[in-house]
């Protein structure tokens, strides 16, 4: 199992390296790729004997925030379990730091996304992925950016935010909207929802792999569309958002066709 995992990992590295050619890195702060330790993996003590650890300890973490539309307990638990097996969880020395909104952001009984900078402070963050970002998330991200002089050395991806779009465009490497798949009248609504969440899980997996192997912010240049399409993969074809009034295309705001 380990040999298959490392072969797949090597293929991913080669794939993302090719898709990232032309990415001109001029800021030394943004050139520090996430390093995944190559220490020998050990079997978890609480695992059954027929399970082996397929991830290695990480010295930087990718924070995945489950917000509106994606904070269902069953979806969160199943996705985190997949993370645990494939990448490892930060609390156990692995790569992924999952956060559930509002549960992990409670202050005085109320969920506050403004707590994000404090939660990840001193955690050695190597990337942030947001699903269904709640209102005022862009302010929390702006605070994080400010703590790095406006240029955090890690990527920030925002999928299907419920927050102010202009604010999210400024605070993120890119924003992707439109989570709904075309309606399939042959399937019950519950099965359609399960189909969507399965595709979202694949989207998360692709984003994590990109961050882990490229590990730098995405430049807002002519190659951004192709890079985001690579990350989105089979989830769907994307196009740049066009303002209906001005006709102007957004640099880093994309929609699913």
- For residue 96, what is the domain's CATH number? 3.40.50.2300
3-state secondary structure of 68: coil
Within 8 A by CB and 6+ apart from 163, the residues are 133, 134, 135, 136, 137, 138
Q: What is the pTM of this model?
A: 0.77
Within 8 A by CB and 6+ apart from 77, the residues are none
Q: What is the mean pLDDT of residues 196-214?
A: 91
- Contact indicator for 158, 130 with CB cutoff of 8 Å: yes
Between CA 91 and CA 200 the distance in angstroms is 23
> Given this model, what pLDDT does residue 192 score?
60
Q: How many CB atoms lie within 10 A of CB 89?
A: 18
Q: How many CB atoms lie within 10 A of CB 228?
A: 20
Residue 34 clears pLDDT 60, i.e. is over it: no
> Given this model, what pLDDT does residue 215 score?
87
pLDDT digits (tens, 9 = 90+) for 177-190: 974 544 555 656 56
Range of the domain at 234: 2-24+42-256
Q: What is the mean pLDDT of residues 221-233?
A: 95
- Assigned domain for 29 exists: no
> Given this model, what pLDDT does residue 204 score?
96
- Assigned domain for 34 exists: no
Q: How many CB atoms lie within 10 A of CB 233?
A: 14
> Given this model, what pLDDT does residue 82 score?
94
- Higher pLDDT residue, 242 or 34? 242
- Assigned domain for 66 exists: yes
- Assigned domain for 6 exists: yes
Residue 196 clears pLDDT 90, i.e. is over it: no
Q: What is the mean pLDDT of residues 194-209?
A: 88
- Assigned domain for 70 exists: yes
Number of domains making up the chain:
1
């Amino acid at each position: 199992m380990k040999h298959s995992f490392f072969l797949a990992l090597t293929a991913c590295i080669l794939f993302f390296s090719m898709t990232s050619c032309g990415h001109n890195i001029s800021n030394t702060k943004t050139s520090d790729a996430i390093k995944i330790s190559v220490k020998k993996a050990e079997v978890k003590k609480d695992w059954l004997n027929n399970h082996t650890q397929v991830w290695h300890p990480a010295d930087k973490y990718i924070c995945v925030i489950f917000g509106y539309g994606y904070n269902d307990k069953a979806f969160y638990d199943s996705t985190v379990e997949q993370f645990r097996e494939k990448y490892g969880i930060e609390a156990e020395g692995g790569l992924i730091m999952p956060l559930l909104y509002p549960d992990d952001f409670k202050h005085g009984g109320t969920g506050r996304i403004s707590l994000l900078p404090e939660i990840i402070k001193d955690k050695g963050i190597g990337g942030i992925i947001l699903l269904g970002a709640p209102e005022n998330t862009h302010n929390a991200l702006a605070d994080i950016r400010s703590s790095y002089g406006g240029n955090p050395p890690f990527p920030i991806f925002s999928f299907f935010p419920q927050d102010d779009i202009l604010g999210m465009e400024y605070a993120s490497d890119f924003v992707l909207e439109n989570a709904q798949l075309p309606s399939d009248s042959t399937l019950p609504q519950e099965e359609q929802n399960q189909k969507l969440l399965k595709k979202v899980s694949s989207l998360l997996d692709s984003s994590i792999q990109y961050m882990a192997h490229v590990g730098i912010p995405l430049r807002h240049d002519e190659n951004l569309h192709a890079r985001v399409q690579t990350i989105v993969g089979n989830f769907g074809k994307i196009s740049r958002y066009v303002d209906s009034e001005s006709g102007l295309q957004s640099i880093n705001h994309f929609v699913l066709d």
